[in-house]
Chain A
Amino acid sequence: METDVIIIGGGATGTGIARDLSLRGVRSILVEKDDIASGTTGRNHGLLHSGARYAVKDIDSAVECARENRILKKIARHCIEETGGLFVTLPEDDPSYQDRLMDGCSNAGIKAVEISCKDALAIEPRLNSSILSAIKVPDGTIDPFRLSSANMLSAMENGGKFITHAAVGSIIMKGGAVSGIECVSAKEGRFSIHANIIINAAGIWSQEICSLAGIKLKMLPSKGSMLIVDYRINRTVVNRCRVPSDGDIVVPGDTVSLIGTTSRSIEYNGIDDLRVDDDEIDILIRNGEKLIPDITRSRALRAYAGVRPLLAVPGNTAGRDISRGIVLIDHEERDGLKGLVTIVGGKLMTYRLMAEMASDLVTGKIGVSKKCLTARIPLPGSERLESLKKNLKLFPGISKSVIGSAMYRHGYRASKILKNDKKNYRQICECEMVTEGEIGYAMKSLNTGNITDLRRRTRIGMGPCQGALCTYRCAGLLNEMGHTTPGESLRMMEEFLEERWKGVRPVLWGDGLRESEFTYWIYQGLFGLGNIKNDNDGSSDEI
């Protein structure tokens, strides 16, 4: 294979670069070792920062956030909900922080308004009623899976190629320049791709990619853990008005709410095996409860952790205190290696800007003069606003919850799913209203390899039952649709359940525990899934 630019890493930045380049007419292939948005991109709290969170300490990031916030609201509206946000001061918090926050916001041009506690409680009825003060900010929520998927879709529609589930084995070099990469994938084995430019957008894994090229790059991994509860208990983003620390935000996201976030330095070799510690759960719950007291009455669905992709540069210390600024490295300048560019740091909020910066650098190198278009052209799905009413009229018989959910997830592109055929009546995931039609669309058009990928495209298995009822249906359906062999379907089913289990395990109590027992009865007690695996290896055919 041969192309102009190879992009390594399918997070928000990588898919953003792929889109940016494709809109400028530059050929690219993106290589991702897992699935798009499977790393840090898909492991955050999905907050559409207004910038207020950074306004006190990191004014540059705050300004960047505020600017990107406005752009994203235009180009990615189907991935965004403008919920609004609050910064509330609890009796135990330092009241002077509020003034610093207001000053910071006004310096950064963020619209922050002080409101009365009564108004805050009217906006957010389940808020702790003993708050001392409240500030309203234009926070919102953003779905990182949808965002990455839309970027990918846009890039693919403009000629970009995506190879997921393929790891970079080595970087091919010729003279003092890179000339391609060698990849390894379970499906296709070893293959190589040639290009004169490689963009390393691997986030925290950038260190490994650089070392393949013999370049030293030091990342400082900082783990952040989050906890999800069963339903949307708050309607706006609730921040705690104090110096950023553990468990100071509750974000409503789609059908759930989540408590974020902790911050812990970890060893670099631990980044592929992230675990949520017991005491982190404790911290999140105790602090979440201070903001929304009712939150402990709802079922904890799962907990997960992500790693902040922080670069070690002089002055950076650790964790959330490190500047979240964007770092663009031209290794030709820094290390004398022609053709390799690393883009790292930043945040989900600034992914588009990062993509623009990286694309500007490489288009300069290959002599393409077209300017960046990503701030103006809406992502696929956000082209036009559709009304639920209109679709309800167009598709009588399909239930409103199905139409509404499909539109919520796919925006304008929901028209590719909503058709008057029986596929839209067959619900595969009942918690999140995912139909056979939606799965068919994701498998066909959204570069989806397995059930875990499908979850990122549709939300299948993300509801309260965590895959108890949809996993086997989906596995059967993929086989029925001709995407998998029976053996592959079984393996996917097991992988998916293991992946769900990993997130459920840290919060195993109460109704969540009952749910897990039920899932275990179905898959082990009824299907004997743990035993099936060996039968399908092919090695042991005897009964």
Chain B
Amino acid sequence: MINLKNISFDQCIKCTICSIYCPVSRATHLFPGPKQSGPDSERLRIKDPALIDSSIKYCTNCKRCETVCPSNVKIADLIQTAKYNYLKKKIRVRDFILSRLDILIRILSPISPIANTLMRNSLVKLLLEKFLGISRRQNFPAFERSSFKNCFKRNMQEQDIYDESVIFFPGCNVNYMDKRLGKDLVKILNAMNIGVTIPDNRCCGVPAIANSNIGRAKKYARYNIRSLKKALGDRDRRIVLSCSSGTLALKHEYANFLNLDTSTLHEKIDYITPYLFNRFSEGRMPALNPVHARVAYHSPCHLERIGGVMYTIDILKRVPGLDLVILNSECCGMSGTYGFKKEYFKISEMIGSQLFKKIDDAGPEVVVTDCVTCKWQIENMTGYRVLHPINILAMSVFKYGLDEYL
């Protein structure tokens, strides 16, 4: 018998708007769209779990369907749950590795110069594709030599001199791949007279969820919930993240999809730009200097899902001199680890093709987006360098030059 926790499919009035906005079914006929894979099929799966369609594996969990649904149906959650519950398959070595990217990163990070060269070697890539099914046309991100957390411990210790404090959950990207983003973020907050605490944390669990390794995702989630609660103590502080998918996971997926209790945390978690927007509105705003650059902003699907896009745009618009092009809302096709998989690479590329064309048309010096996997996809597919909005803000606050980031 099916787990009837998510009965939101009952609210579906079949308006089909989700299927219109689904980037996957637009790119390939192999995916029949969220309406059919979610609410429609759910009734059949309840009747007989054997009626599950394997086509649901094409869903990238971008959550655009949920963003547009006027009936509040948790469509993507329905599909992910069905994937996990009924698509009985052996976990592939590749999916296992991708579901535990944190381990891979921790192994490769200390040997990053060798690892980074190796991972870009075309022979290695060919082998990875042959034996693991990781598309050789994707580039692995480069790893940092030492983690952001270590750097923070060494160089940014004096955080209790500020009159306020916030908890920053760095996630794997900041920690192992984009130290600069973490540093920029802490500096900006410090410039706003806000001290930063970094809690003990592990992978947010998004890769594990995406690769149906739910047991692992739950372990990570429980660990993070515990340590965030501990870090929070009884102080009234907020928790911020620089990663849109991570925020979605902590704020929604832990509760809705993994069925964990996050009630005490939910209201306290913010993506960084809404947090900054609120603080700016209270008057706590650092002085901003002009940044003379043409940037194109791409809004990630998961940020749209949590309603954060307008805050990022507002922050960027505050930067004087910035020539900002806001790209049409399109999925880049990467969806975490989806675009890395050989069998989905073509679909992933197809999904993002409109976006890549729009970026080319805009001709920016640099692309800005909130999501790290969007960044990988865009950098790999278009050749443009991609920055985080926080990087742009740091350029404005601290007069950093764009060339520092290129």
Chain A interface residues (CB < 8 Å from chain B): 125-126, 230-233, 235, 254-255, 294, 297-299, 388, 399-401, 404-405, 408, 427, 430-431, 433, 463-465, 468-469, 511, 514-515, 518
Contact = CB atoms under 8 A, between A and B. Distances in A.
Interface in B7-60: 7, 9-16, 32, 35-36, 40-44, 46-48, 50-55
- Of A255, A294, A401, A430, which is in contact with the most chain B CB atoms at under 10 Å from its CB? A401
Given A255-B43, A255-B44, A465 B14 contact: yes
A298 B10 contact: yes
B121 interface: no
Nearest to A389: B50
Interface of B is mostly: helix
A404 B11 contact: no
B47 A401 contact: no
Interface string B276-310: 00000000000000000000000000000000000
B157 interface: no
A261 to B, nearest CB: 22
B1 interface: yes
Given A464-B14, A511-B10, A230 B44 contact: no
B259 interface: no
Nearest to A407: B51
B14 A255 contact: no
A190 B161 CA distance: 99
Given A255-B47, A463-B43, 19 more contacts: A126-B4, A230-B43, A231-B9, A231-B47, A232-B43, A233-B4, A399-B53, A400-B50, A404-B44, A405-B44, A408-B48, A431-B43, A464-B43, A465-B14, A468-B14, A511-B13, A515-B14, A518-B13, A518-B15
B328 interface: no
Contacts of A231: 9-10, 42-43, 46-47
Nearest to A470: B14
B85 interface: no
B51 A401 contact: yes
Contacts of A468: 13-14
A125 B13 CA distance: 27
B40 A430 contact: yes
Contacts of B382: none
- Of B32, B44, B55, which is in contact with the most chain A CB atoms at under 10 Å from its CB? B44
The 5 closest A-B pairs by CB, nearest first: A465-B14, A404-B51, A399-B53, A515-B13, A231-B43
17 contacts: A231-B46, A298-B10, A299-B10, A400-B50, A400-B53, A401-B44, A408-B48, A430-B40, A433-B44, A463-B43, A464-B12, A465-B14, A469-B14, A511-B10, A518-B13, A518-B14, A518-B15
Interface of B: 1, 4, 7, 9-16, 32, 35-36, 40-44, 46-48, 50-55, 71
A254 B32 CA distance: 23
Contacts of B50: 388, 400, 404
Given A231-B46, A232-B43, A514-B71, A405 B14 contact: no
Given A125-B1, A235-B1, A430 B15 contact: no
Nearest to B16: A469
Contact of B51 (A126, A405, A515): A405
A400 B36 CA distance: 13
Interface of A is mostly: loop
B286 to A, nearest CB: 47
A254 B48 CA distance: 9
A511 B73 CA distance: 12
A248 B42 CA distance: 27
B47 to A, nearest CB: 5
Contacts of A408: 48
B54 A400 contact: yes
Contacts of A404: 44, 48, 50-51
Nearest to A297: B7
A532 to B, nearest CB: 23
B177 to A, nearest CB: 39
Contacts of A464: 10, 12, 14, 43
A464 B51 CA distance: 18
A121 B344 CA distance: 43
Contacts of A126: 4
B10 A230 contact: yes
A331 B48 CA distance: 49
B36 A430 contact: yes
Contacts of B13: 465, 468, 511, 514-515, 518
A401 B41 CA distance: 8
A430 B35 contact: yes
A231 B12 CA distance: 12
Contacts of B1: 125, 235
Contacts of A511: 10-11, 13, 71
Nearest to A299: B10
A235 B35 CA distance: 24
Contacts of B55: 399
Contact of A431 (B14, B46, B51, B53): B14
Contacts of B47: 231-232, 254-255
A463 B13 CA distance: 11
Contacts of A299: 10-11
- Of B16, B47, B53, B71, which is in contact with the most chain A CB atoms at under 10 Å from its CB? B47
Nearest to B53: A399
Nearest to A517: B13
B44 A298 contact: no
Contacts of B32: 399
Contacts of B15: 518
A388 B40 CA distance: 20
A520 B71 CA distance: 17
A230 B52 CA distance: 19
A527 to B, nearest CB: 16
Nearest to A402: B53
Nearest to B29: A425
- Of A125, A294, A430, which is in contact with the most chain B CB atoms at under 10 Å from its CB? A430
B15 to A, nearest CB: 6
B74 to A, nearest CB: 15
Contact of A400 (B11, B16, B43, B51): B51
Contacts of A255: 43-44, 46-47
A401 B53 contact: yes
A45 B46 CA distance: 20
Nearest to B33: A430
Contacts of A518: 13-15
Contacts of A232: 43, 46-47
Contacts of A433: 40, 44
Nearest to A468: B14
Nearest to B9: A231
Contacts of A400: 50-54
Nearest to B45: A401
A297 to B, nearest CB: 7
